[in-house]
């Protein structure tokens, strides 16, 4: 299964022109895609703080329905994922939302769809990334 990073989900819904052809092909395929509830939390917090502007008149509470219409499932991290989060090496990446999404992808055997080059450091500890 493929787990979308937050910015990929934002681009799917708001700025699809930013998606690479490779990611656009993945989105258009029949392969199951998911988004972590962590991303919804991140979007909501950043929107409330004024750090995220959403185009097309969307608000954070529109995302569950909009994602459903695109066929992207919203998934919860498993209890074991939360309980084992301490095992993720700190590395150079400090963003807590990104780190939780990285750990969820690793722990639950998802391939993470992201253009964030800083995630590459986690490939050596098992992260699978689709750029």
pLDDT at 102 over 90: yes
| Residue from 57, 58, 100, 95 nearest 81 by CA | 100
State the residue for tokens 């919860």: 76
CB atoms inside a 10 Å sphere around CB 48 = 10
Q: With bands split at pLDDT 50, 70 and 90, how would you rate the model's confidence at 113?
A: very high
pLDDT at 32 over 90: yes
- CATH hierarchy code of domain 2-130: 3.40.50.1010
Per-domain residue ranges for the chain? 2-130
Q: Over the chain, what is the mean pLDDT? A: 95
Instruction: Please compute, for residue 109, the number of CA atoms within 13 A of its CA located in the half-sphere on the CB side.
Output: 0
Backbone angles phi, psi at 87, to 5 degrees: -80, -15
Query: Cα–Cα distance between 98 and 47 in angstroms, integer?
Result: 16
SS3 of 129, please? strand
């Amino acid at each position: 299964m493929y787990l979308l990073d937050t910015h990929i989900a934002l681009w799917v819904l708001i700025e699809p022109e930013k998606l690479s052809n490779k990611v656009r092909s993945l989105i258009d395929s029949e392969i199951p895609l998911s988004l972590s509830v962590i991303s919804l939390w991140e979007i909501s917090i950043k929107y409330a703080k004024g750090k995220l502007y959403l185009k097309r008149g969307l608000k954070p509470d529109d995302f569950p329905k909009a994602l459903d219409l695109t066929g992207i499932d919203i998934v919860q991290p498993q209890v074991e994922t939360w309980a084992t989060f301490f095992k993720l090496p700190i590395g150079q990446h400090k963003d807590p939302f990104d780190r939780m999404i990285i750990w969820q992808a690793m722990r639950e055997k998802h391939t993470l769809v992201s253009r964030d080059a800083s995630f590459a450091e986690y490939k050596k500890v098992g992260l699978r990334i689709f750029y």
